[in-house]
Amino acid sequence: MGPFWGCTGFPECRATLNDLDGKPSTEVDEHFRCPLCTRRMVKADPERGNYWFCSGYSKGCKVTLRDDQGKPETAFRCPDCGNVLIKRQGKNGEFWGCKSYPDCTTSFNDLQEPP
């Protein structure tokens, strides 16, 4: 969700820290970033619902994410089409599926970890 600091030992080490004013930090940047276009995510008015939307919504980026204790839920990009993967409920339990379904049928099993 925007700039971050990553371990120089990647891919063996996957440790990351948030970028806060150009420095690594465990604090979260107040300007969460859209996972698709990297514009700022905005918290919706409480009377409209408990979610976040991309500040580029009027420019065509229609990403919306549920609120997860005051911050946008973690989002992942579809490796096939580049859209957002969302957690869905299927007949065999939860799974990660592409938001552009049925145009893109990419999916991943939810094994209590990210896709």
Q: Across the 115 residues of the chain, what is the mean pLDDT of every consecutive 10-residue run?
A: 78 85 75 80 84 88 86 86 86 87 88 65
Q: What is the CA radius of gyration of the chain?
A: 15
Looking at the fold, whether 68 and 101 belong to one and the same domain comes out as: no
How many domains is the chain partitioned into structurally? 3
pLDDT value, residue 113: 65
Looking at the fold, whether 64 and 87 belong to one and the same domain comes out as: no
Looking at the fold, whether 53 and 64 belong to one and the same domain comes out as: yes
How many angstroms from the chain centroid is the CA of residue 64?
Answer: 9
Looking at the fold, whether 60 and 91 belong to one and the same domain comes out as: no
Looking at the fold, whether 37 and 25 belong to one and the same domain comes out as: no
Looking at the fold, whether 79 and 115 belong to one and the same domain comes out as: yes
Looking at the fold, whether 25 and 46 belong to one and the same domain comes out as: no
Looking at the fold, whether 43 and 23 belong to one and the same domain comes out as: no
pLDDT value, residue 13: 92
- Give the span between the Cα atoms of 42 and 65, in whole angstroms: 10
Residue-number span of the structural domain to which 96 is assigned: 75-115
Looking at the fold, whether 26 and 58 belong to one and the same domain comes out as: no
Looking at the fold, whether 83 and 112 belong to one and the same domain comes out as: yes
Helix (H, G, I), strand (E, B) or coil at 43: strand
> What DSSP line would sit under 29-54, residue for residue?
PSS-B-TTT-PBEEEPPTTT-SEEEE
Instruction: Please name every residue paired with 6 in a beta bridge, in sequence order, or none if there are none.
Output: 16
Looking at the fold, whether 54 and 80 belong to one and the same domain comes out as: no
Looking at the fold, whether 24 and 59 belong to one and the same domain comes out as: no
